[in-house]
Amino acid sequence: MEDIKLADTEKVLPKKTSGFKKFLRLFIVSVLLIGGLVFWWKYYYVFGEGVKSGELNYVVKKGNIFKTYEGKLIQSGFRSKTAGTVQSYEFEFSITNDSIANILMNNSGKYFDLHYKEYKGTIPWRGFSPYIVDKIILMKDIER
């Protein structure tokens, strides 16, 4: 009879885990959580939004593994990075939406107002630029 009682008490008592194993589990969970938050903040947090206007120079689909849409908008006005040179304002951007990219590709050379989101970092499947165009606000022919 004592054998049955001894077996029952062994089943009821919880196993003790060492303090180091608890610390290691907590440490690993904390590192994964902090790493996930840093990754989200760098690559998925929208740092800024805005609108850029100008003449659409080009939109291309390129990439070795991830094919992304990349474009350039030439804004009116001139600036000089160094003394004695003149350079136009250029806005380089990426596009994630196929329908927006097709509209822009078919209307190169027209005047556009483009809404964009700015991220802190780039990821290969989203494009080469931290500026991602998500809306076309205005499209019109350039009056010359």
Q: Are residues 39 and 50 in the same domain?
A: no
E strand residue ranges, the chain? 46-62, 68-79, 87-95, 111-119, 131-140
Per-residue pLDDT averaged across 46-71, rounded? 93
Q: Are residues 6 and 51 in the same domain?
A: no
Q: Are residues 88 and 129 in the same domain?
A: yes
Q: Are residues 57 and 116 in the same domain?
A: yes
Question: What letters, b where the CB count within 10 A reaches 16 and e where it falls short, cover 122-135?
Answer: beeebbebbbbbee
Q: Are residues 108 and 133 in the same domain?
A: yes
CATH code for position 101:
2.40.50.140
Residue 15 — very low, low, confident or very high, per pLDDT cuts 50/70/90?
Answer: low
Q: Are residues 74 and 15 in the same domain?
A: no
Which residue segment(s) compose the domain that 119 sits in?
A: 46-140
* Total number of domains constituting the chain: 2
Q: Are residues 35 and 93 in the same domain?
A: no
Q: Are residues 84 and 103 in the same domain?
A: yes
Q: Are residues 59 and 99 in the same domain?
A: yes
Residue 76's CB: how many other CB atoms inside 10 A? 10
Which pLDDT score, from 0 to 100, does residue 143 have?
76
At 67-123, the pLDDT tens digits run 999 999 998 876 556 665 656 689 999 999 999 999 999 998 899 999 999 999 999
Q: Are residues 86 and 117 in the same domain?
A: yes
How far apart are the C-alpha atoms of 40 and 47, rounded to whole Å?
Answer: 12
At 134-144, the pLDDT tens digits run 999 999 888 76
Q: Are residues 132 and 106 in the same domain?
A: yes
